[in-house]
Amino acid sequence: MWLYWMVGISVVNSLLLNVGIPLRFSFGLILTDLIYKMGLSFGPLFADIGMFADILILGALLIFGYFASKRRVWAFIGGLAIVALDTLFIVWLHGLAILLSICIHLMALFSLWRGARVALAALKSDGTSPDDAKYIIRP
């Protein structure tokens, strides 16, 4: 669920940034804002390229969210990587000035880590993927 929330709020943040409203929500990714602003500084064509890169990042998070809901370990790891990178960018760019955003990102990282552990434990317990387990008839 965290990944879906982050995508939704990031879309809202990107729309607000595109319109010029200086309001950001803490649940969103700072990577999307950063990429768009960098593209915008080079001109309108690069702003469009930045927006396309934002769509790719958010699309990857949606895919990771979908497969994480199916308890795929790789999806949790992909989501963890993007959220961890985003958290590092927040700390690097803003320090502890936006502590709420850092705390929310850390909560998301912890939840994704727990989900990955549960998915890995389920995989190790019977050696099947969670989707295949429903077709196995046990005595």
In the chain, where are the structural domains located? 2-135
Q: How many residues does the chain have?
A: 139
* pLDDT by residue, tens only, the chain of 139 residues: 789 999 999 999 888 888 888 888 888 898 888 888 888 888 888 888 888 998 999 999 999 999 999 889 999 999 999 999 999 998 998 887 788 888 999 999 999 999 999 888 888 876 655 555 444 444 3
pTM of the model: 0.81
**Could you read off the pLDDT of 35-57 as tens digits, one per residue?**
888 888 888 888 888 889 989 99
Round the average pLDDT of the chain to a whole number and report it: 85
Contact between 80 and 113 (Cβ < 8 Å): yes
- Which residue type sits at 6? M
Helix (H, G, I), strand (E, B) or coil at 12: helix
